[in-house]
Chains A and B, each alone.
Chain A
């Protein structure tokens, strides 16, 4: 993928987030279903049904397969990468089918079997994928109940469904889902459409949703039995390695492949800029790669280095087109009339996702059809990419995403899949390509760096009257302030990104919240107001107010503020994104000899509507807080003339056990709105709260993430 297209990806992703995505095309064949699902309800897909999928209706069988043993197989295009979608979607189906979670088997992200549920990103699974799974399950339950009613010639409303068993209480007659799975009529009625107006179980009657269901396959994760994308082994499989340029933008001019070709059992493929090696062991493939790499001659082109990053982003700021500000009132007039005007610029470095499992794929061609096991967030999109790449139709590419080892927005693209497929096609053997950590650090994409220019005006009562916010490069999520300000100008501007960039946990919202919540803190100081009181005075979002007040109360904000010293600071921040709200209070200690900041405690309150799985939500919040500490305190990509110097866990230090503060997490439940996703937004308040705490202790305002400064040594 080109650098440009990934910049677009940032914007596209945000645009996508407002849309429900389940336009789908799929090819169910009876044979594949029998192979994968085993005996049970036989599914035959007719031409009519495929056509019936236009629009948003989908036949029940595209989602649900009833098995004669009473279990239910649920199909989804979503992937599991540690965020908890497997448990959550299983809960959704179990709830509406009136079965236990143990009776639900979820097949995820196998393009031969599942509908296209869109990319797993943007906290969308909860708001956009749980409802259709519930609708499918509720429709199925209704159809099955009607079938039983017809068989017994009774009114369906007199029947009860519990644990997958339909009972007519008056006569004591029962039918299980397993019984019904054996009937031909069942497969017939399951061709009917999922009803979007079917009655779903009301919140107050949830039995499975709302409980802490553990991840269904967690036992396989502690025994090593689960096979991640990098664990897929096929008969006769080779291990592949791909030659990488020494720097961004470098092109291969010449290479001597003789030494590699002379190695026994080594396969070498050279197609244009692609040079790959496949061998029976990783060791041998790496030896071949190293032998060839020594002879490679490259043409390099000058690249921007990290020391010049922020000036480069500013210099190349785009104006016009997408980069036109949204305005309310008259900012310039309000600023000219303000009694105080603040004008500050904030910066955010590029960071890497570093999922524990680097990109990996195993590819196999059989009779002109490609099957790839890989770790990507967007199975159908990568399926399409591969089909185009190899000049075959989509149905000749089967992409399977086994539950994978982390992503955090960093695995939207299918590089390893393409590389493995290319090598496999050429050598006519299954090939696995496992990226090294250095490859993942260098050739995956990064969270966008940012330069954010802020201006604001205060009147003589200390109220905000003007807000001018220009965010260069990260994107627009989280850009709108939740504060009531009469005159505003808000701009998300594109620029030239020196590095390949893309999504990350909460994407731009982290950068935009860092700038806004730091700047709000500066404004509260200018207004001689307590940072909490200043926010509460301006907040126009009641949900944020609730979590901010909750966090402040649990943290004991007022008293903790009194204990500030030149080494100990407290700070807070709040925000909203993806229809969830968060507030965090932190306590930090600064070693004034070394300038090191240590986060001692984080008290965070979070609300994302009705909670589907409390334990999983807590894990996500803990994860967000701790992951957020990295870019707040240490993580930054260092690069020089196209070479990534932060290319290992030595040179790029992610949070470890020793960094973990005391965590005081408060789940605030709001039962008046639909459930929103919770795996991202808890990250956005961490960095600004820490920066604000540093200021509270030292009077030094750090405006660049990561928050490091020699000025703290005093």
Chain B
């Protein structure tokens, strides 16, 4: 039975009428054509589908769209401000932390959620937090360096 939901996606108000048990991942990709969010496993195991819901990192592949009514969803497409990349996106580019890039949106969203709640995380916090996400090209070292770089920039901004 379809229901009508309203949510904010990347700053835009959206009204969606659909089966509430559909995955948020599919609604983003199929209904809103926001394909930056990836399917990796469908079981909350790899993090490729990570989006922010009210600022928290959530696996959209196990999130029924009915549960996000009246929330604010941010996907990788919603991070940059015009031509200006989000600092985490810029850090991934600067560190060359991309191989095939398929895990990259999920990695970036996960890192953004971390740095929004803890601007200066310890190295062990970064590792433990990012461990939810899988990269098969195994660019883990450069991804860690990218998150460290973004965190370092936070430090430079906050400490005069």
Specify which chain A residues have a CB less than 8 angstroms from the CB of B30 in the assembled complex: 239, 281-282
CB atoms of B76 and A223 under 8 A apart = yes
Question: Given the known A-B contacts A283-B19, A655-B138, A657-B130, are A226 and B43 also in contact in the complex, defined by CB atoms under 8 Å?
Answer: no
Identify which of residues 128-145 in chain B touch chain A, using a CB-to-CB cut-off of 8 Å.
128, 130-131, 133-144
Specify which chain B residues have a CB less than 8 angstroms from the CB of A215 in the assembled complex: 96, 98, 101
| Distance of A404 Cα from B100 Cα, bound (Å) | 7
Cβ proximity bits A377-420 to B, threshold 8 Å, 1 near / 0 not: 00000000000000000000000000111101000000000000
CB atoms of A649 and B93 under 8 A apart = no
CB atoms of A230 and B39 under 8 A apart = yes
| Distance of A658 Cα from B124 Cα, bound (Å) | 10
Nearest A-chain residue to B146, judged by Cβ: A222
CB atoms of A214 and B93 under 8 A apart = yes
Question: Given the known A-B contacts A404-B100, A649-B45, A657-B131, are A356 and B40 also in contact in the complex, defined by CB atoms under 8 Å?
Answer: yes
| Distance of A648 Cα from B43 Cα, bound (Å) | 8
Of A82, A212, A233, A404, most B-chain CB atoms within 10 Å = A82
| Distance of A650 Cα from B37 Cα, bound (Å) | 21
Q: Is the interface of A mostly helix, strand, loop or mixed?
A: loop
Cβ proximity bits A278-316 to B, threshold 8 Å, 1 near / 0 not: 000111000000000000000000000000000000000
Q: Does B57 contact A (CB under 8 A)?
A: no
CB atoms of B22 and A281 under 8 A apart = yes
Residue from B22, B37, B43, B96 in contact with A619 in the complex, judged by beta carbons closer than 8 Å = B96
Q: Does B85 contact A (CB under 8 A)?
A: yes
| Distance of A507 Cα from B75 Cα, bound (Å) | 37
Nearest A-chain residue to B100, judged by Cβ: A82
CB atoms of B93 and A657 under 8 A apart = no
| Distance of A654 Cα from B33 Cα, bound (Å) | 30
Identify which of residues 641-666 in chain A touch chain B, using a CB-to-CB cut-off of 8 Å.
648-650, 654-658, 660, 663
Specify which chain A residues have a CB less than 8 angstroms from the CB of B136 in the assembled complex: 353-356, 406, 408, 627, 654
Specify which chain A residues have a CB less than 8 angstroms from the CB of B89 in the assembled complex: 222-223
Specify which chain A residues have a CB less than 8 angstroms from the CB of B134 in the assembled complex: 356, 649, 654, 656
Q: Is the interface of B mostly helix, strand, loop or mixed?
A: loop
Specify which chain A residues have a CB less than 8 angstroms from the CB of B38 in the assembled complex: 228, 230, 356-357, 405
| Distance of A357 Cα from B46 Cα, bound (Å) | 11
Residue from A226, A622, A654, A656 in contact with B139 in the complex, judged by beta carbons closer than 8 Å = A622
Specify which chain B residues have a CB less than 8 angstroms from the CB of A150 in the assembled complex: none
Question: Given the known A-B contacts A281-B30, A622-B138, are A81 and B42 also in contact in the complex, defined by CB atoms under 8 Å?
Answer: no
| Distance of A624 Cα from B26 Cα, bound (Å) | 32
| Distance of A84 Cα from B48 Cα, bound (Å) | 21
Identify which of residues 29-69 in chain B touch chain A, using a CB-to-CB cut-off of 8 Å.
29-31, 33-43, 45-46, 48
Cβ proximity bits A616-633 to B, threshold 8 Å, 1 near / 0 not: 100100111111000000
**Nearest CB in chain A: distance from B11 CB, A:** 15
| Distance of A281 Cα from B102 Cα, bound (Å) | 22
Q: For this complex, into which size category does the number of interface residues on chain B fall?
A: 35 or more
Question: Given the known A-B contacts A649-B45, A658-B127, are A81 and B19 also in contact in the complex, defined by CB atoms under 8 Å?
Answer: no
Q: Does A162 contact B (CB under 8 A)?
A: no
Q: Does A154 contact B (CB under 8 A)?
A: no
Q: Does B77 contact A (CB under 8 A)?
A: yes
CB atoms of A282 and B99 under 8 A apart = no
Question: Given the known A-B contacts A622-B142, A623-B137, are A650 and B101 also in contact in the complex, defined by CB atoms under 8 Å?
Answer: no
Q: Does A219 contact B (CB under 8 A)?
A: yes
**Nearest CB in chain B: distance from A504 CB, A:** 12
Instruction: Pick the interface stretch among B103-111, B114-122, B151-159.
Output: B103-111
Task: Point out residues on B near A: beta carbons under 8 Å.
Answer: 18-19, 21-23, 26, 29-31, 33-43, 45-46, 48, 75-77, 79-80, 85, 89, 92-93, 96, 98-105, 108, 127-128, 130-131, 133-144
Q: List 24 A-B contacts (CB under 8 A).
A: A214-B93, A218-B93, A221-B104, A222-B92, A223-B76, A233-B35, A355-B100, A356-B48, A357-B100, A404-B100, A405-B38, A405-B100, A406-B102, A408-B136, A619-B99, A622-B138, A623-B99, A623-B138, A625-B138, A649-B134, A650-B45, A658-B127, A658-B131, A660-B140
Excluding A357-B40, A622-B140, 9 further A-B contacts by CB distance (< 8 Å) are A81-B100, A223-B79, A224-B35, A283-B23, A356-B135, A437-B42, A619-B142, A627-B137, A655-B138
